[in-house]
Amino acid sequence: PPHFKKGSIIQLANNKLKRVEDLETADFIQSADISPDLKIDSSTVIRIDEHVDRGSAILGFSVGEHKVKVTVEATLEHPFFVFHQGWTSCSPLASSQRYGLECHKLAINDKCVSLTHKD
């Protein structure tokens, strides 16, 4: 997605503008607090199965206070925002090459930011 490209401008819920590479944990929390429809959840990484031949990974998450198990397939370069760490991916080099976005290596027990609809 083009919004992960370095320099992309993201409009926060408070209408402030920020470059994607400058986003911080507080930006996600404040945007969720302002939004009438969304809440912030923590998605803990519990599984990473990289398939380099396909350029993707199967990722398992334990989401929210109810620890709902969710499995997704994502490209190796797809960025995830980890609380108090910043952007991560399965392949930081590929993320840098594709998006120009500096990422850490996604790891088991990382707590990713996820926005979900309020009940």
- Which residue matches tokens 């409009």? 11
pLDDT of residue 115: 83
| For range 52-76, the mean pLDDT | 95
111 residue type, one letter: K
| Domain ranges within the chain, ordered by starting residue | 2-117
Q: Over 90: is that where the pLDDT of 103 sits?
A: yes
Model confidence band, residue 61 (pLDDT cutoffs 50, 70, 90): very high
Regarding predicted confidence, which is higher, 117 or 47? 47
Q: Over 80: is that where the pLDDT of 2 sits?
A: no
What is the distance between the alpha carbons of residues 78 and 56, in angstroms, rounded to a whole number? 9
Count of other CB atoms within 10 angstroms of residue 15? 7
Regarding predicted confidence, which is higher, 22 or 37? 22
